[in-house]
Amino acid sequence: MSVKSSFAEMLYNGRAAKHWTQRQAAENGGVSLRHYQDLELGITDPKLSTAVRLASVLEIELDSLKSEVCPIALSVSGL
C-alpha cells in the first residue's frame, strides 16, 4: 500500500471515529474542503505540516507510515 493510500485510509478512519463530516475535519484541520477530500481519496500527498496537523485534530498516529516511506532503512535501523 502506498503512503498516499495509507494516509487516506487513516484520515477516513480518524474522521469516522469522531463522527465528523469531511467539512468538519477540513475546518478543524485548517485546510479547504476540496484539499481534505483530495487527501482522503488519496489523490494528493499532504505537506508534512498538514499531515501532522490533521493527525493531531483527528487523534491518529502517523508512526505506521514509517514502514511505507522507507522500509529498508527501518529494517536496518531496527525500528
Q: What is the CATH number of the domain that holds 16?
A: 1.10.260.40
Choice among 6-20, 29-43, 54-68 with the minimum mean pLDDT:
54-68
pTM: 0.80
- CA atoms within a 13 Å half-sphere pointing along the CA-CB vector of 23: 0
- Number of structural domains found in the chain: 1
How many Å apart are CA 13 and CA 49, to the nearest integer?
Answer: 20
Eight-class DSSP state of 65: G
Question: For 9-37, how does the pLDDT look when each residue is reduced to its tens digit (9 = 90+)?
Answer: 999 999 999 999 999 999 999 999 999 99
Cell of 65: 507510515
Cell of 42: 488519496
Residue 11 domain boundaries: 3-77
Sign, Cα dihedral of 56, 58, 60, 65:
negative
Among residues of the chain, what percentage have pLDDT more than 70?
Answer: 76
Which region, left, alpha or beta, applies to residue 19 given φ > 0 means left and ψ of -120 to 50 means alpha?
left
